[in-house]
Amino acid sequence: AIDGKDFSVVYQPQIHVGDGRLRGFEALLRWQHPAVGEVPPALFIPLLEETRLINRLGGWIFDQGAEQRQAWSGVFAPDVVLSVCVSPTQFCMPNLASELKRAMDRFGLKPGQIEVEITEGSLVHNLTHSHKQLKLLHEVGVRIALDDFGTGECSLSHLRNLQLDTLKLDRRFVANIVESRREAAMARSIIDLSRNLDMLVIAEGVETIEQYQWLADNGCQVMQGFLIAHPMVAEDALHFPGHFEPAGLKKGGLL
């Protein structure tokens, strides 16, 4: 399937809350099976992990992302970030940082233009390895995001001790923050702590104007979700506006 080009990459925009500037895109892998059609990532990612094909596919994904970020150089600001998910198996690869550096050098990217998203489980599985891997990634100019925070084993002390640039608030928190006082309190605490640790906070799965408004009012800096845009092919991403603001926002509620 890899050689047959059944895999493709789509891109979902992320925007800054304060002024609507485009922060970047998350690159998302898609698989169009020739016989059964589109296969959900929740099904094929574990399969790739189990068969170790994710390691082989990883270099291709890095090249795709780096090439696309370079193609956007004449359109978007230099600080626009391309985020790529790294699986637990990939995070264990000793050559992860060198693979990313190779892709960045090949396409002439600057430090900070590529970000890897790592799950909680990947980080806490082996903390000694995680510290070494994060250090290597930073040394080659790659930003590091903790993905889906709040769903796994990562504690608040891990946030303090690990070298992280970005925290992504899990969509399950976002889905309930307007209706659930408990979820709202937890989300507010995570946002406050992350900002105090100089981490950028991105909310995933923002689908309603009420969620956006609550997150904006409570210090979240960047939004991602269907309210902003669905994942799109590279050509459509090229035409995404450099500034974007959802309709219906209360101006006074923005940061």
Render pLDDT for 122-148 as a digit per residue (tens, 0 to 9): 887 788 899 999 999 999 999 999 987
Write phi, then psi, for 106 (nearest 5 degrees). -60, -35
User: Is the pTM higher than 0.85?
Assistant: yes
Render pLDDT for 74-92 as a digit per residue (tens, 0 to 9): 899 999 999 999 988 889 8
How many residues does the structure list for the chain? 255
Q: Position 11: which residue type? A: Y
Render pLDDT for 1-15 as a digit per residue (tens, 0 to 9): 554 478 889 999 999
Render pLDDT for 14-30 as a digit per residue (tens, 0 to 9): 999 988 999 999 999 98
CB contact at 8 A, 105 and 133: no
Domains of the chain and CATH, by start: 7-239 (3.20.20.450)
Render pLDDT for 31-53 as a digit per residue (tens, 0 to 9): 888 788 888 888 888 888 887 78
The more confidently predicted of residues 36 and 113 is: 113
Strand partners, 29: 9
